């Protein structure tokens, strides 16, 4: 699948010296012809869902919505539009305390909508965002990708698959606290191997 449009999701709290941001730059550089839309969840944080949002996504009548509910629904629609428009999603994933950053969880909560990005069928849930590719760029100080204490990458793979994105590649710069130079060099080799 040729990559023509990329949605880049940055989640690192660090603006300078962020390994996940630097490696995401390297991944994006592999697709010089692609149009890139960037959603920086650290620079422009998303609100966490609340009772009002849960209520509105359960099918409340439009004329009963508060201004806050309308704004949250419009934001969710915008995020989903960005996701639907991209054929490749690049997600910078620093691992914080064995899991995903809270900003990324907020994004997930706003884009995972029944009847929009997935639906329930008699055969079980079905993702509606098919035909897309995701590249996860993981960085961690001490959590090894795929290890028993890595709760971030399996969760993110599951969520992406749940909404229909099953072609998922992982670039990992894990265990940076032990040998950052070798770890980053290894991750850059992984980036070089990505099919453009």
For helices 176-192 and 19-29, angle between their N-to-C axes, nearest 10 degrees: 10
User: Per the annotation, does 60 bind a ligand?
Assistant: no
For the beta carbon of residue 102, count every other beta carbon within 10 angstroms. 15
User: Per the annotation, does 5 bind a ligand?
Assistant: no
Residue 158 tokens read as 């599951």
Three-state secondary-structure class, residue 12: coil
User: Per the annotation, does 90 bind a ligand?
Assistant: no
User: Per the annotation, does 12 bind a ligand?
Assistant: yes
* DSSP one-letter string for 94-124: E-BTTB--HHHHHHHHHH--BTTTEEEETTE
Residue numbering of the annotated binding site for FMN: 12, 18-20
Residue numbering of the annotated binding site: 12, 18-20
């Amino acid at each position: 699948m040729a990559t023509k449009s990329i949605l880049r999701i940055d989640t690192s709290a660090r603006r300078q010296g962020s390994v996940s941001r630097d490696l995401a730059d390297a991944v994006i550089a592999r697709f010089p012809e692609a149009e890139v839309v960037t959603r920086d969840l650290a620079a422009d944080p998303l609100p966490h869902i609340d009772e009002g949002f849960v209520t509105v996504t359960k099918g409340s009548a439009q004329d009963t919505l508060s201004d806050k509910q309308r704004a949250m629904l419009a934001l969710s629609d915008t995020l989903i539009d960005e996701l639907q428009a991209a054929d490749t999603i690049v997600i910078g994933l620093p691992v914080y305390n064995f899991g995903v950053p809270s900003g990324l969880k907020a994004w997930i909560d706003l884009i995972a909508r029944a009847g929009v990005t997935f639906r329930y069928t008699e055969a079980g849930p079905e993702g509606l965002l098919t035909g897309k590719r995701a590249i996860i760029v993981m960085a961690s100080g001490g959590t090894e990708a795929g290890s028993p204490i890595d709760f971030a990458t399996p969760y993110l793979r599951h969520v992406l698959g749940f909404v229909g994105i099953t072609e998922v590649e992982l670039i990992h710069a894990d265990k940076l606290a032990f040998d950052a130079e070798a770890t980053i060099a290894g991750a850059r080799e992984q980036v070089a191997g990505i099919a453009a």
